[in-house]
Structure 1
Amino acid sequence: HDEGEYTCVLRDDACTAEVTVVELPPEIISRLTDQRVNKGNKATFEIELAKGDALVQWYKDDMEIQFSNHIQLTIDGKKQKLKIYDCEDSDGGRYTCIVGNDKCTATLTVETPSIDFTMRLPEFIIVPAYADAYLTVEIPDEQYDVTWFRRKSKIEDSEKFTLISDGKKRTVIIRKCLEEDQGEYSCSLLDAMCSTKLKVEVTEFSPKILDYTKEYKIKKGSDVTISVNYEAVPKPNDEGIVNSKIIKRSKHTKPFIDSESASLTIKKVDNTDAGIYKLRLENNCGKADVDITIIVTDIPSPPGKPNVLEVNDTSINIFWDEPKSNGFSDVTCYIVEYQEKNTTEWLSIENVTKTQVYIKNLKVDTYYRFRVFAVNEVGVSESSECSEFILIKKKVSKQPPSVEKPLKDVIGHPNEDLELTCIFGGLPQPTVTWFKDGKKIITSKSTYVNRVATLNISIEEKSQGEYKCVAVNEHGEVETSCIIEVQQKPIIHVTENERIQKLRVNNKWSVTATIEGIPKPQIVWYRNGTKIDDSSDIKKTINDNVSEINIDKVKRLHSAKYTIEAYNNAGSTSYDVTLSVYDVPSKPEGPVDMKEISKESITVQWKPPLDDGGLDITKYSVEKYDPEMRQWLKVADVDKEVTSYCFQGLNENNSYKFRIMAINPIGVSEALESEAIVIKTALDVPSPPLGPLGVYGIINESVTITWSPPEKNGGSAILDYTVEVKDGKKWKQVATVTNTTARIEKLRANVSYKLRIYARNEIGVSLPYSPEQETILGKTLSPPSQPLNVMVREITSRSVTLSWMTPEQL
């Protein structure tokens, strides 16, 4: 459309010249090279053209190649690749590529190796991100060894790669595959070679908490770092909350997150830092919350005031209550001190492990008072209240048994050791007997020393019940009792091979979970966070401590994260399993648009499939229906990013149909098929240009207008646009342009103008686009015309400086 007569006018003088555009012939700028491959491997010939729409013909030994699954052509712009899969001896020969008057030739040599693999690598291996990939070959004799390569670099045994030799099998394990691990891997056996392409499926998913410590006990004044390991794609944002306040970075608190863990460091922990810290990880797929408790440990509060159990002539038996607070750290022992009346010295007994002590070697008929300190890992508490002064002299009065320290109800957990303790008074010292649920307990795990009765129990489910200790002497009987409740937070067991499953459509999926817990847990299943109700396709059963979920024939829509949750009085536990269902893609989205139609060629366009089958589209296969041969012929494979193709070498007056299939590693989709089209009748004039009309930079004599291209070009490229104006009398042509912007000059101020615009292709001129609004120069307001001469003045790592000139018309 640049062809034509060009004229230059200077006052009364003028000169003219004619421009003729000559299309250069297509040529090959990157040519074929000879290929030498082993039998069974893939051979690839590649060319690059000077222009992408050139007609290319491929030949083998002077016979035009018919493309198939064995021989495929892929097109990516100006580059074309001819691929011969699983090469046989018959594939060897001379391959020729002809483009216009240019051609190039190369030879394929297929060699039979001296030894070959009995099991080769597959063409593709697909693994999810962070999973291990196993690449295995089998060789004919175990005396041989193989060499593994990633691209062209030799693989050595390392943390990333594990090399295994097992009989005739040779395996390389690629640990925790990431996107950067994708690519070609090959294995050589003497002069034989096989290869595969590893694809790491990076599926975006919501954060999942992998590991964390639920509770931290920190000594006051120490530093602590709490950490949570997680997995998520993409990397989530983190937010920490404690006591309803968002945690911000400061000298005292320092949050941090990377691709595998999130952490919070607290400097010099104080009592005010104690509490439940909620960490929220969130990305575009979802969120995960976790609660972590920080306990700031301190010295215990003072123990209770010492009380007398029994007094003899030179000894005393005393007891006291535990501290009301242990400072969030178990009391390890007590220090008991005593003081003789009318003296200042306190004598001490250390490492007392019970809340009772028998003190000997005191002076008869002497008064003493007592006090107690509690000890934990942080330090020693303040003193208890001192007892009154007590006379050390044996009492002869008789007393019935009394409960000085009763039993307390306890919650126990399986495999935990519990100690039940009670203290009795009474003279003479009573005897004790233990009972469980009314039955006498006969065990060697009970003791009764210095009026302290103790029963040690190794907790199991049958330990639950009422425990009673009865004290008896000749003057009476007394008892104390407690309840032991056994609890176990649910534990869910699922076999590793059921945790992540990848299945083709119509296969059966099932997961069996075994659940432990006391009391018996309740069980709920979720799909992507939503509770699963009974439905016809997803079936779940619960039988005692086993729950199973299954789908007889999986569909693509069943791909999801499934979660089993078990809960009881002790807490709740959940476990995630993932189902990925793969299939061939759905057919490309239509309709098939036909554009740029000529007498010998047509360009078709389509849209990607709505469903890629769970795997990336690798390419599209395009075919045409040949009316003379009355069959579909494969024309080419095009890159996954390309959604158009120019069919060339068509015959005028013939009726053609075209179809496109999407391909992923699983297979080929259904075909998207075009309507039949007769090349002769397909060309037409364009549809009218489209609005809205843009009006800019109005001054007294000129105006700039813009519009949009036609919806349809009639199968032929738009050559130019014609703009006409009308000032109330007649239409006058004022501009012919090749783009959708025109500057109209030599107009009159204060005159109302109407506009219309035509589009032209090689067939003819369209109907006009006639906007309704009129333009009056000098009265119609408009935005300015575009700024001029935009230039980049300076670039830094974080900024760019621009400059420009003011528009011609403001």
Structure 2
Amino acid sequence: MRWFLGTEMLRIQYSLGKYEVKQMGTKHMLCVSSVGLGDMGTYTLQVGDKTLSAKLTVIDEPLKFLSDFSPMRVTERQTAVFEVRLSKKTDSPLIWKVKGKEVKRDEKFDVSLSEDGLTYTLKIKDVKASDTGDYTISIGDLTATVPLFIERIPIKFIRPLKNVRVKEKAQAHLECEMSSKDVHIRWLKDGRDITGRACYVFLQEGKRAELIIDDCELENEGEYAIMCTQDNDTHEYISSANLTVDERFAIVTSGMSDVQCPTGSPAELCVVLNDEKLDGVWLKDGVEISELHGVQVVKQGAVHKLLFSGVSDGHQGKYTFRAKGAESEAVLAIADPPEIDSSVLDLLGARPVTVKAGQTATIKIPFKGRPPPKVTWYKDGLEVMEDERTKVERAADSTTLVLSRCVREDSGAIMLRLKSDCGTAVANLHLNVIDHPKMPQGKVEFLERSRKCIKMKWKAPRDNGGKQVTSFVIERRLAGKKSWFRVGEVDSGTTVFSDDKVDEGQAYQYRIRAVNSEGMSDPLETEEVYAGEPIEPPGMSSQPQVSNITKDAMTVSWTPPASDGGAPVLGYSLERRKKGSNMWVQVNKELLTDTKCVVDGLVDNVEYEFRVISVNRAGAGSPSTVSNAVLAKDPIRAPGLVRDLCVSDSSNSSISLSWKSPEQGDEPSGYILEVRPEDAKEWMKATKIPIAGTTFTVGGLQERMKYFFRIRAVNEGGVGESTELSEGVLAMP
């Protein structure tokens, strides 16, 4: 028995269930499963020599879904099962898609087909929130979508957040464990979202979440909360706890020390605290260091350093390190050894500093060195001290020696020494002050002293003033005179001079000066020297006497001096002055040869004094003794006899007298009254000074003693003749 479709024999045993042959007695059946359009045709049964045929016609009905595609809700962690029932079998494949991606069979998804080929099943194992979405079934031209909703399991905190207490600068950990790892986490501090902030470390591993705060500050203290959410769940799950930060105080266990170092060298300022967790701040001159070129701030645990790669001027100052409750200070200063540029030293050593006497020598030497070195100037090995002529100026990078009104003695070796704790520098130079020469040396030796010539010799000056001596100038003056006169000049190779223009017996004084291009030296003066035997000025004349006095003239006379000085007196010089004045006026223009002179042209009622000077060939002698002062006035006549002398009253001890002025002579200026007791021979003045009036009472008399009286008038012209009482008077009433 064989079955044919058309002319092709059907291989029943290899049809994989497509065909099934059944025989019931003489009835033969061919069952065709999942009939399709391809199954249409003429089927023939050949049994032996018998052949039977029948035609199969397949009606093509449209394919459609028989399942209800309602949204599916499945609890998380369960298995979601989608079943699709077709109206007929089809050779077209059925494709499952989710979120645009085709679903393949794997550990998560299980795709199966029922035995009848009409039911397709998709199983999603252990569903998660991420499995939520629209699942699409496509077969041929048919498409259907079934929404899948995952109902989430509420989040539980297996280990909630716990309160934490730490010290400032310590690390704080806030951690918790949730019942699910598929959660979204937000961290809050005091109700504000801090998620993602750089100052926090956020960790999440599986179901465990942790917040780490490094180097806690006081402001980190507060309430922290973790807020958990999950997809497809509107609930917010929160766990909270408090973080307490205890303030931490620092103690300096090793402070900074002042630092001095050369320019460009590295330097370090170091502070050690008792707590490596604490930070600090560095300040320079009270200002916080934010950025300083060449400076690095280093923290190594509890050790805080300020590192300088190369110290410069901008790094000098006072540095302060401040940490909470602690502070340390130090000064960084550049300490360069003093240095003078070699070119300056070469220039100073090559030629001296030259100035003229009276000018100002200014020697300025620049240098380097910090801190500023001690500046000391030396001259000829002795330290230079400042005075009104010498000033030492000091600057940060130079020093200047100023010598005003220079003198020759300022010449010499000058040395500058700069000294600091870092070292010493020295500069040497020579100062040359050019001046006129010093005076010739020693005492002048007189080689000849005759009536016709005076010859002298001297020595050249010890110091030529820095310039070659070119000549010597010789001057002389008469002994006792002030004016000098030049008598000769010799060149510098000669130190001998002869003066042949001298007067015999005359005394001379010489002085010698050395000459160079700067001028003449101070003079070397000789003692007085005579040309031949010495002649002296005459001695003093006698004190002048004055006679023949009138208001405008008087006669002055004197006697010659006792000594003429070795030469005849040539004449006299008469001088006058007003009494009380120091100015003498010479009366005569020419020498007086007589010893008497009438002086006229006087001023009435002025007192005059006179003196006489004798003169010989040697000169004028000493002035005579000054005459007595004489008033220029016509002569006054002495008064005449006093008239009418009489007794006006008497007592036991006194007698009163009266009189009248004289009629002859000039007016008296007073009266001289004299008294003599009867038993005495000498007359006594009744008063020490003349009596001004014409009455007088003589007291202190002895009772009943007889007394005699006489009186004279007196004035500038003299004393008049006396008038005497004719008889004695008894001292009684």
TM-score range, shorter chain: under 0.3
Normalized against structure 2, the TM-score is what? 0.28
Normalized against structure 1, the TM-score is what? 0.25
